[in-house]
Amino acid sequence: MAKIECPNCGEQIETTGSVTACPQCDADLREVMEEVRRQQKAARGDLVRDESVTTHEFIVRTRDLKKIYIMGDMEVPALRGVDLDVRRGEYLSIMGPSGSGKTTLFNMIGGLDKPTEGSCFIEEVDMAQLDAFELAWLRCRKIGYIFQTFNLIPVMTAFENVTLPMIFAGMSSDEMMERGQALLDMVGLGDRLHHKPFELSGGQQQRVAVARSLANQPAIVLADEPTGNLDLQTGKEIIDLLKELNQEGGTTIISATHDLKMIDVSDRIVHIRDGDVERIEKRADLELEVGTLGSEHAPEH
């Protein structure tokens, strides 16, 4: 959605897509459109970028992370000493079969669970040393969450859902309104501010969830199977959105996923099996061919 003015005749044009010629005087508007697009990109980057003054190169570090679940009188080791370093601005995917410790590792990084041994650092802060208040602060300001089941509050509108973390962060009312509107515009739901989750499709709900995760400009965004409950096409849109945020805003994204399409856009892929990191792959080294729907590539036989 952009309002541009034709430099020739001064006509105000509102457009959602790309307009190449002015409807009034038929002047070439491509340059104007480019400028608008550039401005929107910069604004998006400002919206999303984590402004905290840090020099940390590694935004998440784990050292010999171990977790043992006690089921009755049996000890089940879920993680057997995981060392992981996540760089700022990286897009990391954690892959592994169920029972591999993928979810446990995810919970550790996200501050949802405490390790039995070892430590996990977010921006050089040891999470095991934090008490309940500090952990809540961390979850509010430093970590954004995206869930497989969207997890929007059903009685609140999209706008209220996005601004909820801002309320917890103590943002002023004006700033909240401005930022909430800007975030929803960024994910493409600017005209659905006051819709409740049941009035939105699955993809739209996940977009609201993405906007919500960015509410307080977090250092990292944790996505747990974000495309799990979405069909191929909608899943692709969400993945494109996340990739855009990663590239333009420099948001660090860590996702736990089975989806090969998400693997396709990540910088590194961590494979976990039986509580150990099996291998870490760089996307550049992988040869992935992901099937696409529709007519993007002509089938070769």
Binding site for other proteins (CB under 8 A): 103, 107, 110-113, 132-133, 136-137, 139-141, 145, 147, 149, 151, 153-154, 164-165, 168-169, 212, 215, 224
Q: Which residue lies nearer to other proteins by CB, 115 or 165?
A: 165
DSSP 8-state class, residue 134:
H
> Helices (H) and strands (E) in the chain — how many of each?
8, 12
- Phi and psi, residue 143, nearest 5°: -125, 135
In whole angstroms, the minimum distance from the beta carbon of 265 to other proteins comes to 23
H or E stretch covering 273 = strand 268-273
The token duo for 42 is 């910069």
Alpha carbon distance 74, 85 (integer Å): 31
Residue pair 90/245 in contact (Cβ under 8 Å)? The answer is no
In whole angstroms, the minimum distance from the beta carbon of 186 to other proteins comes to 19
Going by their DSSP bridges, the two strands 12-15 and 2-5 should be labelled as antiparallel
Look at residues 263, 289, 258, 229 and name the one whose alpha carbon lies nearest to residue 96: 258
In whole angstroms, the minimum distance from the beta carbon of 257 to other proteins comes to 14
Q: Which residue lies nearer to other proteins by CB, 101 or 110?
A: 110
The token duo for 41 is 């990109």
In whole angstroms, the minimum distance from the beta carbon of 25 to other proteins comes to 50
Q: Which residue lies nearer to other proteins by CB, 114 or 194?
A: 114
Going by their DSSP bridges, the two strands 143-146 and 12-15 should be labelled as unpaired
Residue pair 165/140 in contact (Cβ under 8 Å)? The answer is yes
In whole angstroms, the minimum distance from the beta carbon of 93 to other proteins comes to 17
In whole angstroms, the minimum distance from the beta carbon of 196 to other proteins comes to 14
